Structure 1
Amino acid sequence: MLAVSRHRSFRAAANELNVSTSALSHSIAALEARIGVRLFNRTTRSVSLSEAGAQFVQNVAPALSTIRDALEQAGSFRDTPSGTLRINTSVGAAHQVMLVFIAFLQRYPDMKLDIVTEGRLIDIVVEGFDAGIRLLETVPQDMIAVPFGERQRFAVVGSPAYFAQHKPPRTPADLAAHRCIRSRMPSGSIYQWEFERHGEAIRIDGDGALTLDEPGMMLAAARAGLGLTYLTEWNVSADLVSGTLVRVLEEWTPPLDGLCLYYPGRRHVPAGLRALTETIREYADAKRKRGATNKKRRRH
């Protein structure tokens, strides 16, 4: 029932629980018949909790959480962790940590990962996730955060063909004379490009003929010379190396905190989540050591 209330869809809840939609619907109907009240309001297009259903969920959720914790604590006595971890993250972050996911599953073959990618920030507790992976600055302060990976920067880039016809901007204010490939946020709002130098912070809502909501399409448009785009260094690094894109305003984009794994603070952390946390920390330590070694080699 909690899965149906989260997804507001029998089909989506059935997929999460790995049961058929009809079996789940029959189970809910049987529960409603047993207690004699309607828990969900159903139409052909939507499912929502009734007043009685909302009260029921509020009352049973803590008890189910306690039962889940008890099962997880009992399972922690296994030699290796098992079960499924549901992780919410963005597409870009998932690509960056895919090697960690692979290493984790190779190390713990009894574990499963259910990775859900979306741009919007959600309440991972309400939506039924064990953890999330996002930029550290976006994580709620009541969560336990495990930082990993390098600090990240944004970059303003355009193609050589574009700059052959347009003078490169020297300050963010110069962007008023340029075509900008605008980015739509999951909320529907247009993302304002953020700049900072010597304590001066500026937000720019650039003008342009094209608005997109996916980094790969923004890169394609920039390569085609349609304008300047604003993406993370991780997104544009290959193009900068190959020369298909050129970076400008680099001194106006200081580094930000990198990615982190985060999860709700509670008395007991599932064994599988502890194992994933340890794998991430090992990955971060190894990456820092490689970075330090490379710096020493460059000095010599």
Structure 2
Amino acid sequence: MQMRAEELIHVRMAELRLACEREIRIQRERASLAASSFRQSLLSIRSTAEETLANREKLGKLKDNLKELEAHLEESLAVKTCKEAKHTCSTESFSTTVARTDQLKKLVLDRRTRRDEYAAVISQQLLALESLEEKSNLDIIERQDMEEAIMWYNKVLGFRAEGGEGVKFIFNKINSKNPDEGYSFTIMLENDIYKLLHCDPYVEDISELIKELNKNDNLFELVRIMREKFQAAALNGFSPTTMTDYPDSSSVTVSSPPPVSDDSRSGTLIKESDPHLQTKEGRRVLQKVTRGQSVAPSPQSISAMRRSPRLMAKNFP
């Protein structure tokens, strides 16, 4: 039993000895690392100290150079200040001279401007007087020509146009038995498309005529053809009835335009069906009559009416 206890003690002591040896080795390694690190730190500090000394020498030289540059800068600033003072004096003197010169120029320009204004006012008054006289004469001539054309259209051809919801074209003097009967058709321009609102009496191929109108845009040609159609209808015994709406094709809509007084100048359209007339003119006058605006004839049409309004009968059989 005693031998067993001694063996345990020996084993325990051997373990402690091994542990102490391991701890000693670890501490030696740590000490060795610390010594190595300390030596490296000393080398680094020594190198830093040497660099610091070298930098101090450079700094001293730079300070000396800076003092020299500051001295040169002070001299340059003094020279610059002197030159700026001279420049300021010269500028003030020049500005005074320029200001005086500008005053004299303004005075001269003011005198010239007043003289030109007086001359311009006199010239404008003379031109305005001449323009007013010329315009007055032209207005008188145009009004006389338009009144003559209107009277001739209504008297000889029995043709007129009324504005409202669309434009209503009315033809009298179609039926020789009853010249006062009004043959009419109404079209409307909507989104650059002509649409038929009503036709009295109804013409069978009116839808095709409207389609053709949307292709060639020749409104006055349609008016001429419709007069021929109404004359043919009158010969066949068809007479106008009450206003009737017609069903649709792609360019026919149902509607009924309100009548407009024949005496209203703002709702009357007088246009000859000239084959050389631009199609856009027909579109323009159609829009104006629809809005209830009076349409003044062009100088060419006025001249033609003044020469002989009866020449326009060729386009209205």
**Coarse TM-score class (shorter-chain normalised):** under 0.3
Of structures 1 and 2, the one with the larger relative CO (CA 8 A, separation 6+) is 1
* Larger gyration radius, structure 1 or structure 2: 2
Query: By percentage of residues, which structure has more strand?
Result: 1
Query: By percentage of residues, which structure has more helix?
Result: 2
